[in-house]
Structure 1
Amino acid sequence: MSTSAMVAKTDLLKQVPSCSYPVPVPSTTDLDVFSWSRIFENVAASVPLRQALEFKTLHSEAYNAVNRTFRKTKKLKIEILSTDSEKPLYYVQDSATKNVDVAIEMVRFVLKNARSVANLELNFEDVNLKALNRVLDEVLNSDHVKLKSFRVRRRHAGQCVTKIGDVIRQNATSLREISRVGISEASHGFSEKLKLDKFGCMSFDLGFQPAPNQIPHHFIRITESGAKIKNFSFTSFSGLDPSDEVVQNMLDGAEVKSIKLTMMSPPVIAPRPGFMIGKIRSVEHVELVEIVPEPQRINKLMGVRHIFEKVFPNCHDILFLQQWE
């Protein structure tokens, strides 16, 4: 190539822009305040209470984000677990402590900062109910509690917690689901304001061998309360006699649509002529669950199938199940 040609090419390249694109160089990008705020909120919502509070010391935006997270809190979860030592272990929002006063302060903090607590979960294993009653007092005295769901778990039989009934009564207009409360606690707290989609109770709050008139007495109180229940479940040692007048009055008065009975042994059904057995036509679904140590080939509850079929004529298929650990 001649010298003049080389000069011309050089001049042309200076004037015409290149069509190729440069390879972008990796660089760090700063997140905006909104993005950091969302990160802090998501992290604070997914960790235990104490860890969430530690984020407040990182940055002013973290402080505000954590506060917004607690304002959005809908569920209060409290556990009082027995340990090998004399002192129980308290969990509030998955944060553990062995100091009952610290646990109460954590409950107060959640209730103070939450706009509206809609779900309450209680799990208590301690024989002494003093701490549990203190916790329930905080729930009852808070203006930020409007429960839709109330779930209870207990370890020991024979423990009747009256304040559980008080919580039910105080939140009667908003409650839609109650799970595993004692029958005496339910009868204490039920009123005509209750319109429940699901109601599950058990007889263990009355002890291992309740008196013959105890369970009927509480069913009568539930019937007289005027509460309405769509789906009813009951756990006991020997189930319920569906032909019993007290049981039928409760199912009929509460307008129950579905029943689930969990028991260790078949119910004791009083002998009576078939034409004297009343019928509950509102019930459309029945489940009978036998508690067994291990799976069995034969379900002993099948022996009372004919009674349930007679009492619930609109239930076309009764399910017989087994439950084991």
Structure 2
Amino acid sequence: MSTSTIVAQTDLSKQLPSCSYSTTKSGPNRYDLDVDSWTTIFETVASSVPLKKALEFKTLHSVAYRAVTRAFKNVTKLKIEIFKGTCCIQDSWTKNRQTAVEMARYVMENSKIVRVLEIYFDDPCLDVVNEVLDEIVKSNHIRLESLRVKRRHAGQSLPKIAEIIRANAKTLKEITRIGVSEAALGFCDELDLEIFGCMSFDLGFQPNPQQISLNFCRIMESGAKFKKFSYTSFDGFDPTNDQIQMLLEKCAVENLKLTMMNPPKITPKPSFMIGKVRNVKKIELVEIVAEPMRFNKLISIRHFFEKCFPNAQNHLSLLQQWN
């Protein structure tokens, strides 16, 4: 074993003390690892610990430095969490907003390609999350296949998310839990998604129905396609509505999941189109409840969905969701 490897082994044992190994131990039970083995160890550890911890390994030894650098090149997922007064980038916490931006930039600059982006923001002020998203928009190391968004406060919309969608439209296959207004602003005819999930809470707790209708119309006119469509709101949508039926038809939706607290208000239409949308083959109607209930309120609207989507009659489920 080379001197370089011995030094690396000794340095690592000091950084990560073990009850089963001592740097002074000798004898038949001592195992000497070569450079490749230590490189693999450093890469594995760096890939599984928070960002700051991984960077600390770079100071141990040149073997560790190169291994950690190589590990960052293989990073494909960027995880961003923004809270009031603190941020978490790749599971590393900081209270300094500029440090958060620099951490996100470091991950992107040292990665070959970032393919998965997870964003969670729980801050009434959107300044920090917008600064971080600015870095993502400008980066040349972003080729997203999956975009996952979660938010805590209603009434918050991020146009930067729409910019990220447009910049990655050719590669995106999954978009979940974005706001309906963000989708309306970012969708284009280059999008061909396997999964698309959106919610109405970006428009507030009690959004104007006309606002939702306008955004759905923009999504439909964008030319985007998505096979699995999930929509979360307070009262779902009216399946007999012509615009909703056109949206599901033009966007080639095959699986539909509606999550809501109350059944949608369905306007009586004695002559609404029956069996018009035939591309939808599976429907899930999910009621949000405080605790499991025997009776599902959504059963009252089941027959409307059966009539509007005849090919989903045998694959229509009524479910409940609770915390």
TM-score by length of 1: 0.90
| Secondary structure of 1:248 counterpart | helix
Deviation, structure 1 residue 81: 1.8
Q: Distance in 1 between matches of 2:31 and 2:78?
A: 38
Q: Distance in 2 between matches of 1:62 and 1:275?
A: 68
Aligned to 1:32: 34
How much identity, in percent, do the aligned residues show?
56
Once the two structures are superposed, what CA deviation does each residue of 1:260-295 show, in whole Å capped at 9, x if it has no partner? 000000011110115544621000000000001111
The equivalent residue for 1:9 is none
Q: RMSD of the TM alignment (CA)?
A: 1.0
- Matched length: 296
Q: Which residue type is aligned with residue 166 of structure 1? A: E
User: 3-state SS of the aligned residue for 2:124?
Assistant: coil
1: CA distance, partners of 2:317 / 2:29: 63
Match of 2:44 among 42, 47, 67: 42
Per-residue deviation, 1:124: 0.2
> Which amino acid in the other structure matches residue 207 of structure 2?
P
The equivalent of 2:134 in structure 1 is 137
Contact 1:243 1:278 in 2 (8 A): no
Deviations 1:113-167 (A, max 9, x none): 0000000000000000010110110000000000000000000000011111111
1:94 corresponds to which of 91, 94, 98: 91
Q: Deviations over 1:210-256 (max 9, x none)?
A: 11211110111001000010000000000011110111111000000
Q: Aligned letter for 1:79?
A: E
Asked if residue 234 in structure 1 is aligned to residue 231 in structure 2, the reply is: yes
Structure number with larger C-alpha Rg:
1
Counterpart of 1:181 in structure 2: which amino acid?
Answer: I
Between 1:138-147 and 1:313-322, the stretch displaced more is 313-322
1:205 pairs with 202, 205, 216, which one? Answer: 202
Give the gaps of 5 or more residues in structure 1: 1-24, 83-87
How far does residue 101 in structure 1 lie from its aligned partner after superposition? 0.6
Partner of 1:310: 307
Q: CA deviation at 1:317?
A: 2.5
Shift of 1:28: 1.7
Which whole-Å CA distance do the structure 2 matches of 1:276 and 1:53 have between them?
Answer: 61
Q: Counterpart of 2:319 in structure 1: which amino acid?
A: L
Partner of 1:6: none
Q: Distance in 1 between matches of 2:59 and 2:209?
A: 59
CA distance in 2, matches of 1:93, 1:115: 16
- Any conservation in 1 of the 2:275–2:309 contact (CA below 8 Å)? no
Which residue pairs with 1:194 in the alignment? 191
Equivalent position amino acid for 2:35 in 1: V
Alignment of 1:275-314 (within 5 A): 276-277=273-274, 279-314=276-311
| 1:36-75 equivalence runs, <5 A | 36-75=38-77
The 1-side partners of 2:75 and 2:132 are apart by 17
- Provide the rounded CA distance (Å) in 2 between the counterparts of 1:162 and 1:218: 14
**How far apart, in 1, do the equivalents of 2:286 and 2:273 lie?**
26
Asked if the contact 1:121/1:151 (under 8 Å) is kept, the reply is yes
- Change in 2 beyond 3 A, CA 1:288/1:117: same
Runs of 4 or more above 6 Å deviation? none
Which blocks of at least 5 consecutive residues in structure 2 are unaligned?
1-26
Report if the CA contact (8 A) 2:155-2:203 is conserved.
yes
Give the Cα separation in 1 of the matches to 2:276 and 2:301.
15
